Amino acid sequence: NAGVMQNPRHLVRRRGQEARLRCSPMKGHSHVYWYRQLPEEGLKFMVYLQKENIIDESGMPKERFSAEFPKEGPSILRIQQVVRGDSAAYFCASSPDQGGPYGYTFGSGTRLTVV
């Protein structure tokens, strides 16, 4: 039973380029969450999605960042016109329902480096 799959594991982008991060939740999980983590810092919530719906995007920067979770295919976190400050680890997590007793299952993350 595959866990949460994120790709790519490492992504290098030049300033001004676009970054696309993909996340396929665990089978049977319909809730997807994206978190950002800077080195030696905590996990900052970005966005919570269900299929075709954004439930909570209160942690998303107002500009350049967008997320989707289409009916078919993985969830995508898109960062347009990347800047050095976007360099971080981006983790996706999924859960089968809200507040279930098994917590989140996290993917291995995408380490984004902006040069």
Partner 1 sequence: GQQVMQIPQYQHVQEGEDFTTYCNSSTTLSNIQWYKQRPGGHPVFLIQLVKSGEVKKQKRLTFQFGEAKKNSSLHITATQTTDVGTYFCAAPGGGGTSYGKLTFGQGTILTVHP
| The binder of partner 1 chosen from 42, 62, 71, 85 (CB under 8 A) | 42
Residues 86-115 that bind partner 1 (CB under 8 A): 91, 93, 98-99, 101-109
70 cis-preceded (ω within 30 degrees of 0): no
| The binder of partner 1 chosen from 7, 20, 43, 64 (CB under 8 A) | 43
5 part of the interface to partner 1, by CB under 8 A = no
Tokens representing 29 are 């999980």
| 91 closest CA partner among 32, 12, 19 | 32
Please state, in angstroms and as integers, the Cα–Cα distance from residue 103 to each residue in 32, 62, 77, following that order: 12, 28, 22
Binding site for partner 1 (CB under 8 A): 31, 33, 35, 40-45, 48, 55-56, 58, 91, 93, 98-99, 101-109
